[in-house]
Structure 1
Amino acid sequence: MDRRSILKHAGIAGVLAAGAAPAVHAQAAIRWRLTSSFPKALDTIHGAADVFARKVNEMSGGKFSVTVHAPGELVPAFGVVDAVQQGTVEAGHTAPYYYFGKDDTFAMGTAIPFGLNSRQLTAWYYDGNGLKLFREFYDQYNIVNFPGGNTGAQMGGWYRKEIKTLADIKGLKMRIGGFAGKVLARMGGVPQNIPGGEIYQALEKGTIDATEWIGPYDDEKLGFQKVAKNYYYPGWWEGGAQLDFYINKAAYNGLSAENKAIVETAASHAHTMMQAMYDARNPAALKRLVAGGAKVLPFPKVVMDEAFKQSMALYAELSASNPNWKKIYADYSNFRKDQNLWFRFTDAQFDRYMQSAKL
């Protein structure tokens, strides 16, 4: 009997007994390292990378694993772009606006002052042109990006002294994330870009006069309320701050179609989970902060108006000088205009009524 007949008529036991088993090539396990910009103590923002890694492992049956590394373990907190671009690591999880020094366009990947809120930004990325435009932009950095979580609208930060007029902004040394510092500087403030794990010490020592981070849940963990009692809102510079998963282009292109789908799905799951955690945990944390003596205060309208004016002027200047910014911001701003028109009749009105109702 020839080999073809054996394969046709014998069961698997017979095939093995006849020594005619077809060759089986086991797929090599994939091991990626992901570096985060955020300390492990923050289970929300650092936790999004853990969610991503866990889902990749689960969906691949353990054949594709991702290990998550805190700042300093492999690269510094703000070294993610360089590490992914150069292939030092396969992946990173960070806030794009940390890298506005390379190109101001990075900032739109996270949040710009008076920009899109979290739902609007997700809509622009997934059903608008956001992801397409940023894929083109990041290609020059050897990076493939995926949305990797959103904080929702943030608080406006912790201040040693109350902010009553524009004069109180003059000379204010404030830790403020990335690009928004440009607007603060135009208002007379002195922005400081400090990693999350180093902010408390700077505020405690008086190296800075104020800081913003995210919102009640994380801020409470970092202990800012112990050294500054004035807690302002809203964070006009972060109406919906998005993080990204950055993947080295060669590493991503080397994946099978199945593993590319796993990466995409794990990232979108982490994206959803991160904001869910913030929305679920911030209310109780805010109550605890207030009970502990925090004074929750709105920014004066004159401060908001000046911040808006300076933001729009900055965007006009960048559109005139930076082709990358001009291309993406044109689409972003048109999308923002339509979104604000729609939300004005729906979410904004509904939310305003519900927040005034006695439940």
Structure 2
Amino acid sequence: MKRRDFIKVTGLGVAGAATVAAPAIAQSMPELKWRLTTSWPKSLDTLHGGAELMAKAVGEATDNKFQIQTFAAGEIVPGLQVLDAVQNGTVEMGHTAPYYYFGKDPTFTFGSSVPFGPNMRLNQAWFMLGGGKELLNEFYKSYNVTSLLAGNTGCQMGGWFRKEINSVDDLKGLKFRIGGFAGRVMQKLGAVPQQLAGGDIYPALEKGTIDAAEWVGPYDDEKLGFYKVAPNYYFPGWWEGGPMLVALINLDKWNALPKHYQFVLEQAGHLANNWMMARYDQANPLALKKLLAVGTKLRPFPATVMEASFKAAKELHAEVAASNANFKKVYDSLTSFSNNGYQWFQVAEVGYDNFMARHSQV
């Protein structure tokens, strides 16, 4: 065959394939309209904004054939009922922190973070490449949901306190809004944990219904106004070293999705995840400076409180693992992965970050 004839044939072949393939692909994309409810108020443009970004990306990637409408906490169901709404099919999916549902089974805590668990990068690496996604989704099956990675806040703050915390004794009787499994650790130290959705925290703190509250970090905390009623801002949030946020999807709806829609949805979750991590790294430094400028008192938890908390957390993990096979399976996987990770981190990452932090003081 002559070269000119070959080009004509292959050119026609490609053109012909494109002519046939385009309608076939279009026809294989059904029009779907889903509803997504979140655990967050609309005012939090990081958390709720991550869900909105995910939904927008799905629409743009499918020519709006797959549309997802987002609803803030309380618009369809309260913020702490997202799992139930997805499980029973009230909505197709939700954006939430699975540790909110630890009361159903402590294993839910691993979908976000476990007290004294890994940092943001190690938590994400475990979920994506260390078997975490597979272990968690196997567990979620019994609740008729599956999960996709859809956010991470980075290491959180230890919360806002009316009074100073100078020793473990200061935690006794303290009514502390704290999310998920970490509340049980605080209970071991004498605190009285309270689980409240984000939008309910400020009124409770203002009225004195609670004595202290943790949420996320400077950017979100400033928006919610906690500094106005509790001046002492503690760090670190040892219960959330790198908490993941996920999209929970009704399992029947997920299984019915065309494969390319499943792929698009998962990639949209990764987009939201990466965006959220970058957004917090961008916004938290400036927000902290603003909080300090209006009189916020930044304080580290005393070493005695940190050590007592670590001991109580490890005791609780062992107690739960002894009676809950699902918890033990996931905990062993995560702990092994993060221990290996921290052995590497201390070689280069920690040393470098500590050096740069010392030379970045303003």
CA contact (8 A) 2:39 2:80 kept: yes
Number of the residue aligned with 1:283: 285
State yes or no: 1:354 paired with 2:356.
yes
Cα 1:26–1:130 shift into 2, 3 Å: closer
Residue 111 of structure 1 corresponds to: 113
- How far apart, CA to CA, are the structure 2 residues paired with 1:307 and 1:56? 42
Unaligned runs of 5+ in 1: 1-11, 13-21
CA distance in 1, matches of 2:357, 2:222: 24
> Considering only aligned residues, what root-mean-square deviation do their CA atoms show, in Å?
1.4
What SS does structure 1 have at the residue aligned with 2:107?
A: helix
Q: Give the Cα separation in 2 of the matches to 1:25 and 1:348.
A: 52
Mapped to 2, the partners of 1:358 and 1:191 lie a distance apart of 37
- CA separation in 2, counterparts of 1:303 and 1:47? 34
Gaps of 5+ in 2: 1-15, 17-23
The match for 2:295 is: 293
* 3-state SS in 2 of match to 1:231: strand
- 2:265 aligned with 1:263, yes or no? yes
From 19, 28, 31, give the equivalent of 1:29: 31
**Alpha-carbon distance between aligned partners in 1 of 2:218 and 2:258, rounded to the nearest angstrom:** 41
Q: What is residue 6 of structure 2 aligned with on the other side?
A: none
* C-alpha displacement of 1:314: 0.5
Question: For 1:190 and 1:67, how far apart are their aligned partners in 2?
Answer: 37
Please list the CA deviations of residues 183-240 of structure 1 after superposition, one character each: whole Å capped at 9, or x if unmatched: 0000000000011001000000011110000000000000000011100010011101
Amino acid in structure 1 at the alignment position of 2:106? D
Matching residue's letter, 2:220: D
1:340 Cα deviation (Å)? 1.1
Name the amino acid aligned to 1:93.
H
Give the corresponding residue for 1:221: 223
Partner of 2:126: 124
Secondary structure (helix, strand or coil) at the match of 2:73 reads coil
Q: Deviations over 1:286-338 (max 9, x none)?
A: 00000000000000000000000000000111110001101111111111110
Counterpart in the other structure of 1:242: 244
Letter in 1 for 2:211: D
User: Is 2:30–2:66's contact at 8 Å kept on the other side of the alignment?
Assistant: no
Alignment correspondent of 1:309 = 311
Aligned amino acid, residue 155 of structure 2: A
Distance 1:337 1:358, change over 3 A: closer
Describe the SS at the equivalent of 1:146: strand
Q: What is the deviation of 1:25? A: 5.5
Residue 319 of structure 1 corresponds to which residue in structure 2?
321
1:57-206 maps to which residues of 2 (within 5 A)?
57-206=59-208
CA shift for structure 1 position 351? 0.7
SS in 2 for 1:78: helix
Question: 1:305 aligns to what SS in structure 2?
Answer: helix
After TM superposition, which residue ranges in structure 1, 4 or more long, deviate above 4 angstroms?
24-27
Q: Is the 8 A contact 2:176 2:212 kept in 1?
A: yes
Alpha-carbon distance between aligned partners in 2 of 1:83 and 1:358, rounded to the nearest angstrom: 46
Superposed counterparts of 1:335-354, under 5 Å: 335-354=337-356
- How many residue pairs were aligned? 338
Identical columns (%): 51
How many angstroms does 1:241 deviate by? 1.1
CA distance in 1, matches of 2:148, 2:259: 16
SS in 1 for 2:309: helix
Paired with 1:143 and 1:40, the residues of 2 have a C-alpha distance of: 24
The alpha carbon displacement at 1:28 in A equals 3.6
- Matched letter for residue 157 of structure 1: G
2 CA distance for matches of 1:261 and 1:326? 31
CA distance in structure 2 between the aligned counterparts of 1:158 and 1:72, rounded to whole angstroms: 25
Q: Deviations over 1:42-93 (max 9, x none)?
A: 0001111001000000100111000000112111111111111111110000
SS at match of 2:42: coil
TM-score normalised to structure 1 length: 0.92
Query: Which of 190, 204, 211 is the aligned partner of 1:209?
Result: 211
**Structure 1, residues 109-138: CA drift from partner, whole Å, max 9, x if none?**
111111011100110011111011011111
Pair 1:358–1:150, CA change in 2 (3 A): closer
C-alpha deviation, 1:165, in angstroms: 0.9
Is the CA contact 2:149–2:266 (under 8 Å) kept in the aligned structure 1? no
Distance 1:117 1:162 in 2: 26
**SS in structure 1 of the partner of residue 34 of structure 2:** strand
Q: For 2:140 and 2:332, locate their aligned partners in 1 and report how far apart those are by CA, in whole Å.
A: 18
Residue 45 of structure 2, aligned match among 21, 32, 43: 43
Counterpart CA distance in 2 for 1:32 and 1:296 is: 43
